[in-house]
Structure 1
Amino acid sequence: MRVLVCPHQLGMGGSPLNAIEMASAMRRYGHDPVVYSTSGVLTDILRDSDLQWVQAPASDAPGMAWARRLEDVVRHQQIDMIHAYEWRPCLQAAFGSGRRVPLLMSVMSMDVPRFLPTHLPIVVGTPELQMRMSAQGRKAHLLEPPVDMDRHRSRDVAGARARFGIPDGALVISTVTMLTTDLEKLQGVLEAIRVVDRLAATRPVRLLIAGDGEGLPAVQRRAAAVNAHHGWTVVQTVGFQLDAVPVYEAADIVLGMGSSAIKGLAHAKPLVVHGEAGFWKLVEEDSAAGFLHTGWYGRGGSGIQDLAQALGRLLESPALRMRLGAFGRNLVERRYDLERSAEHLAALYVDVALDRQPQATVVRSLARSAATSARYFTSMRFGSVVDREQWAREGAIA
């Protein structure tokens, strides 16, 4: 089938990168993917993949330019099915070309906005969310964040450390993240800097931070202050990395959430998962099951106290780091392998293409979606901070 793949953007984040990787993999199963998206920092990766790319207007631009262009592409490229990623492309496609060709929605966020149409099949990234969507009457499919196990493998730790100028003997804590307030990612990085600042008084630690966003200047200022206090590089910011593999390779320990956390495990590094409201937890044999069910994220904890305790245990015990690293690599191989995920998605495409909904069901679903999404956009423009925060917690991040 000729499938139009619509990432919400080609910027930083696991979702657009997964969209590109899975689209590329679909060719091995006989599908012919075309990517429809705006340009961004991942454009070079898309071009290197040799996937056909049709540049789209910004999906959040005023007017209907994105949807109108989508209809032109579907018609002229003879598209058989649309696979849209994240809520905004899903919503626009559902009211446009998705009424005439099969549409599969993918939402890799921690929640699904309630205004998305209920008649359309949806792919989510955790078993817990799949169960919740199914309980709401949606056709929910599970496709956990895929990882290329061959690419995400630590082969040259010494070379990776040399690339970042890390001296021998340093204990490296790496994080690959977006420096934004979404899901309190920026707050987590600032907490990590505070903890590493304290640890540096007695240990040769280095916090390696890869990422960009509106919080980068604040992180850089804090890093400079910590480094000046100690007289050596304790916190190193390296900005956005198109290829983040060396950041994981250089690490003794990885901090992260979502797909970044899973990739850290793939590199056989012990992982401390970050979440909201002070959540930090070390991934061990007895804590992994919870993350496998609800996702690599959490909410609620003691903040820097929990992080300091987890890092202290890991830094003091090379044996513990080695054991948990091997455990994590094995877990990702069994659960998140890209090839296994691609095989599942290729079969799902066929099922979605063959499925047909009664017209009355479609009409009711779209009417409900139109009314609920109107309330969302009104809240974003005129609502209170509390209203906007509530929508954000449902996954409707503007």
Structure 2
Amino acid sequence: MKILVCPHDMNLGGSQLNAIELADKVRALGHEVVIHAPEGVLTDKVRSLGIPYVSSPVPANHKEWRKSLGRLLEDTDIDLIHTYEWESTLDASFSPSVRGRIPLLASVMSMQVPEFLPRHLPLTVGTPALAAELAWQHRTAFLLEPPVDMELNKATDPAAARAGLGLGDDRIVISIATKLGTELEKLQGVLSAIALVDRMADSHPLHLLIAGGGPGLSQVRERARAVNERHQGTVVEVLGYLNDPRPAYEAADIVLGMGASAIKAMAFSKALVVQGEAGFWKTLDEGNAEGFLQRGWFGYKGQGIADLERELETLVAQPELRERLGAFGRTLVEKRYSLDRSAKELVAIYLDLLAHRGTDTLTARAASLLRSAVEVSRFRTVMKSGALTEREKWSHSGVEL
């Protein structure tokens, strides 16, 4: 097979890393892969892996993106297109070069599937609960849980990782590796963690590491500067974007995160506090693991910073608990999220779609695209109007704003 993989962008993010790592493993299984995406910080990773790469306009430039896709399809014999997230999926769906000619698979790694995506499209989603919900809606949905490379992401020498970051053994290190944006309240969670560590550092030897870039980076740096001035030393360290965030995970005693970041924390055998929206914070343990496995590494509604403080106070005070929960998390990931296993499952999905290509009727496809066009128009009107409540509603429906 020859697969065209279209991540929505090449900035640091779990979905983009999944797309690249799965593409590399699919190649290792004997298939051809081409990546078509805008230039970004992850482009060097694609090139270092030797995956053929064709630069595209950003998906927001819809007309030019579709033209670029059309030229590529004219020049390359592609069997199937695999898009990631909503922007590249929409543009590929409405491209005259694709419709009815080439099978299209969309991957949505959010907690929900955006309402405006065409309903005839086959999807992969990251949680059993979401796959079951889509099946109940009579949509074609495959479960493809966020994969992690178990060899690349494991704790080998935490002391060396700390030394590389200028840290000794006298601090309890709390790490966050995330995009610093407002979608899923990631930035709000980081700011809450800074405020809490500022207070807890009066009585505990804490060091908060924050890895990641995004629109909130300057705000995070300003908050960190104020905290460090108050303590007359570095309590909050903002690393910014890292080409390789593994040292931030390996150096940690505790990791705060959601989604793919949470899974990587477990791969590194770290105690994990799962972040969600509306004040959700919960330490992973044997009692709640099944819920996260079914619904995803995320949550909704809690007591905010009070919950985070309770979880951190417990973990900070009990190093043996951190070690036990870290070992539990590693075992969980080994059983469930292996990259090699996920790549084989993805190839099986590709083969299934190619075997059943053309089974959807022209009428059903046209109705699906018409409905999608109407919903997209509503969405873009909301984005232009700037109505905060409406924007918030879309962000909760799986749209990264």
Asked if TM exceeds 0.5, the reply is yes
1:98-109 to structure 2, matched below 5 A, reads 98-99=98-99, 100-109=101-110
**Within 5 A, what are the aligned runs for 1:225-304?**
225-304=226-305
2:210 is matched with 209
Residues 100-150 of structure 1 show CA distances to partners (whole Å, capped at 9, x for unaligned) of 100001011111111111111100011111111111221000101000000
SS of the residue corresponding to residue 329 of structure 1 reads helix
- CA–CA separation in structure 2 for the residues paired with 1:395 and 1:10: 19
Partner of 1:127: 128
1:64 alignment partner, SS class: helix
Structure 1 counterpart of 2:388: 385
For 1:183, the equivalent position in structure 2 comes to: 184
Deviation string, structure 1 residues 281-308 (Cα, Å, up to 9, x no partner): 0001001111111111111111111111
Please name the residue that 2:364 is paired with: 361
Amino acid at match of 1:129: L
One-letter code of the match for 1:213?
G
Q: Which residue identity does 2:78 align to in structure 1?
A: I
Report if aligned partners of 2:181, 2:187 keep a CA contact under 8 Å in 1: yes
Aligned-partner residue type, residue 372 of structure 1: E
Q: Distance in 2 between matches of 1:191 and 1:383?
A: 26
- 1:84 Cα deviation (Å)? 0.4
The secondary structure found in structure 1 opposite 2:274 is strand
Q: 1 CA distance for matches of 2:30 and 2:161? A: 37
Which stretches in structure 2 are left out of the alignment for 5+ residues?
Answer: none
Counterpart Cα distance in 1 of 2:188 and 2:392: 16
Equivalent residue number for residue 27 of structure 1: 27
CA contact (8 A) 1:118 1:137 kept: no
What is the alpha-carbon distance in structure 2 between the residues aligned to residue 23 and residue 269 of structure 1? 27
Superposed CA offset, 1:243-268 (max 9, x none): 01110000000000110010001000
| Residue number in structure 2 paired with 1:374 | 377
Bigger shift: residues 268-277 or 226-235: 226-235
Map of 2:83 onto structure 1: 84
Match of 1:67 in 2: 66
TM-score normalised by length of structure 2: 0.97
Tell me what 2:41 maps to.
41
Q: SS where residue 244 of structure 2 aligns? A: coil
Rounded to whole Å, the distance in 2 between the matches of 1:25 and 1:260 is 20
Q: Following the alignment from structure 1 to structure 2, what is the Cα–Cα distance between the partners of residues 21 and 70?
A: 22
Q: In the TM superposition, what is the alpha-carbon distance from 1:71 to its structure 2 partner?
A: 1.2
Deviation at 1:172, TM superposition (A): 0.4
1:57–1:202 distance in 2 versus 1, CA, 3 Å: same
Q: How far apart, in 2, do the equivalents of 1:285 and 1:359 lie?
A: 49
Shift of 1:321: 0.7
Paired residue for 1:320?
A: 321
Question: Quick check: 384-393 or 97-106, which moved more?
Answer: 384-393
Q: Where do 1:323-338 residues align within 5 Å?
A: 323-338=324-339
Number of equivalent positions: 397
Determine the structure 1 residue equivalent to 2:12: 12
**Alpha-carbon distance in structure 1 between the residues aligned to 2:118 and 2:57:** 23
Report the equivalent of 1:310.
311
Counterpart residue type for residue 24 of structure 1: D
| Separation in 2, partners of 1:344, 1:14 | 19
In structure 2, distance between residues paired with 1:174 and 1:380: 33
Residue equivalent to 1:143: 144
Among the aligned pairs, what percent are the same residue?
51
Aligned to 2:92: 93
- Looking at structure 2, the residues matched to 189 and 397 of structure 1 have their Cα atoms a distance apart, in angstroms, of 17
- Kept in 2, the 8 Å contact 1:253–1:270? The answer is yes
Which residues of structure 1 form unaligned runs of 5+?
A: none
1:4–1:74 contact (8 Å) kept in structure 2 = no
The residue type paired with residue 70 of structure 1 is L
Aligned-partner Cα distance in 2 for 1:74–1:34: 11
What is the identity, as a one-letter code, of the residue corresponding to 1:346? V
CA drift at 1:66: 0.2
User: Quick check: 2:184–2:395 contact (8 Å CA) kept in 1?
Assistant: no
What secondary structure sits across from 1:363 in the alignment?
A: helix
Deviation at 1:29, TM superposition (A): 2.2
Aligned to 1:219: 220
Partner of 1:167: 168
Deviation of the 1:383 alpha carbon: 6.1
The question of whether the paired residues in 2 share the 8 Å contact of 1:57 and 1:65 is answered with yes
In 1, Cα distance between equivalents of 2:98 and 2:289: 38
Structure 1: distance between partners of 2:204 and 2:67: 58
Q: Is the partner of 1:299 in helix, strand or coil?
A: coil
Amino acid at match of 2:317: E
Amino acid at match of 1:211: G
Aligned equivalents of 1:156 and 1:332: distance in 2? 19
